[in-house]
Amino acid sequence: MSEQLSAEGQAWLKHYPENVTWDAPLESKSLSDFFDESVAKYRSNPGVDFLGKKYTFGEIETEVNKAAKGFQTMGVKKGTKVGLCLPNTPYSIICYFGALKAGATVVNYNPLYVERELAFQIDDSETEIMVTMDLEVMYPKVGAMLARTNLKKIVICKMVPILPGLKSFLFRLLKSKEIANIPNDDQHVSYETLTANDGQPSKIDIDPDTDIAVLQYTGGTTGFPKGAMLTHANLSINVSQMLAWTQPVGMLGLGEEKIVGVLPFFHVFAMTVVMNQGIAIGAEIILLPRFDLELTLKTIHRTKATIFPAVPTIYTAINNYPDTSKYDLSSIKACNSGGAPLPNEVRHKFEKLTGCLLFEGYGLSETSPVASSGPLGGLNKEGSIGIPVPGTILQIRDLEDPEKLMSQGEKGEICILGPQVMKGYWNREEESKKALVNGRLHTGDVGIMDEDGYIFIVDRIKDMILCGGYNVYPRVIEEAIYLHPAVEEVTVIGIDDEYRGQSPKAFVKLREGQPLTEAEMLEFLKDKISKIEMPSQIEYRPELPKTIIGKLSKKELVAEEAAKAKG
């Protein structure tokens, strides 16, 4: 049973942007209908720009329909899990909506994952088909999964055909070694074969409220990866909430915007805020396969981009770039920061540099993700995650007694109620019950609500490191380090990192008589965790702090590092 949603008497209503209403109508629909309805409005508009090669919305629609028919021909039915292990390319959008239109549930994969992480997620999610690129940095890891997991088929997307003319020629000429050798067998299907059809997929009957569109893997509050079940309604409503937040204040012009897609679409923030929202408003989505500072600046300058969602590390990198004057960034009018806390000095410097409005949002994989935001053109309080978006309630609940609501200014767990909150965790009934109580999501973040209803995060219950906009879970790193036979005990914490916000630091106790250098440990970890998860420091100690009952304790180490940081 869910709590009744009502914003009556909430202090933050006084600070809602002009013309924005909390109870604005929110549209729940299948993402297939969402895509078709938007394309019908903007069919002839530019839809995607990939490194200078452009596609209209109509051209993207044609490919989506062919991909959907191709997936159905491969045996995809309602609920079949189709994995996407892709960088940001036109294939990301085409195969996402193509798989959904075929009736599949999309499972997002980070292309930086090592084999161990891929294998876990494939088996846990029951992914049957994986879509990836023909690149040497990606395919071999995915290809190995055919023998190691229950993965049945891999769809191979080629890099060369999606590059603009000269880049395509130069890639063939200079970078042929970067193309992987793909086996010619029944388990491998080329994108060209997938889409060699009439583009008339069978219509799938989707119930937006119950059918799962995406399994978005996250550590939740425990740090052990699990798939947040995001329904079609969760994801379509979250876009509707953002439009209800921005449209009445004239922030976004329908069919007029150009949105930079440098954040990876396998991350829930970019999936919703860049891809899905971009399609909803008919924006041209300017895709970059990865973050490269100079390429990003050149792209904004070339395209006259107007919307630039990013994480604090990207804004910091631009602020610190010595030659920003070479590029015209004045076309940017709105930026939303997410994934990690936005330092005040970063916000002010970037706004001064570009003349844009940079506002901070808050959310989780479990909330599709947007739950709160600084009001556009209204009061943005330093260090605050803002106020709830339409249709959403944020509460502060007692850490000991979750049924008790805390008073203004009192510390407690941030809980979220709203139509964007996930259905639960895939195949994790007990953990779902702990996270979802009476329809409200217990976030694991500790915060306070001030007299104006603005919320501030002050601590975290969950064992998580916010690293450059990515959630990094100590438990995943600890398990990888424990695989080394010389390791007796290990604990990992987050330490301050000037560029990434936080980075992992490992404290290790070695077995007696088994020496190991930091360099040797890092080399050992290379194929066990991703680069994002790699510890920035490894410190060997004869003993690690423990609680009175003998459990490894992090709090002493966290306090030591905090004292060091203060000098």
pLDDT at 260: 98
Output b/e per residue, 374-395; b: 16+ Cβ within 10 A: bbbebebbeebbbbbbbbbbbb
Q: pTM for the complete prediction?
A: 0.89
The H or E element spanning position 284 is strand 284-287
Q: Which residue has the tokens 């001030």?
A: 450
SS (H, E, C) 526-547: CCCCCHHHCCCEEEECCCCCEC
At residue 282, the pLDDT reads 98
Q: Span 292-302, mean pLDDT?
A: 96
The pLDDT assigned to 293 comes to 94
CB atoms under 10 Å from CB of 515, counted, come to: 9
SS3 of residue 411 by DSSP: coil
Residue 473's closest CA among 524, 530, 547, 550?
Answer: 530
Separation of alpha carbons 329 and 340, rounded Å = 23
Residues 237-259 have pLDDT tens digits of 999 999 999 988 787 889 999 99
Beta-bridged to residue 461, according to DSSP, are: none
The pLDDT-based confidence of 1 (bands split at 50, 70, 90) is: very low
**Which pair of structure tokens corresponds to residue 113?**
């994952």
Q: Select from 512, 517, 502 the least CA-distant residue to 464.
A: 502
443-455 pLDDT, tens digit per residue, is 999 999 999 999 9
- DSSP designation for 307: B
Which positions ≥6 away from 185 have C-beta within 8 Å? none
Q: List strands edge to edge, sheet with 258-261.
A: 53-56, 46-50, 284-287, 258-261
Which pLDDT tens digit goes with each residue over 377-414?
888 888 899 999 999 999 999 999 999 999 999 999 99
What's the mean pLDDT when you consider all of the chain? Answer: 93
Q: In what order do the strands lie in the sheet with 188-190?
A: 188-190, 153-157, 127-133, 81-85, 105-108, 212-218, 226-231
Cα maximum dimension of the chain: 70
Q: Is the pLDDT of residue 2 over 60?
A: no
Strand 46-50 with 284-287, pairing: parallel
Tokens representing residue 132 in the block: 């990836």
Specify the amino acid at residue 316: T
Nearest to 134 by CA among 190, 172, 93: 190
Residue 524 has pLDDT above 80, yes or no: yes
In whole angstroms, give the CA distance from residue 376 to residue 296. 25
Vertex 527: Cα angle to 191 and 216 (nearest 5): 55
Whether 160 contacts 171, CB under 8 Å: yes
Three-class SS state of 285: strand
Distance between CA 184 and CA 157 in Å, rounded? 14
Question: In angstroms, rounded to a whole number, what is the distance separating the alpha carbons of residues 538 and 88?
Answer: 33
User: How much is the pLDDT for 222?
Assistant: 65
Q: Which helix (H) or strand (E) holds 372?
A: strand 370-373
Q: Which domains does the chain have, with CATH numbers?
A: 31-43+55-205 (3.40.50.980), 393-460 (2.30.38.10), 465-566 (3.30.300.30)
pLDDT for residue 365 is more than 70: yes
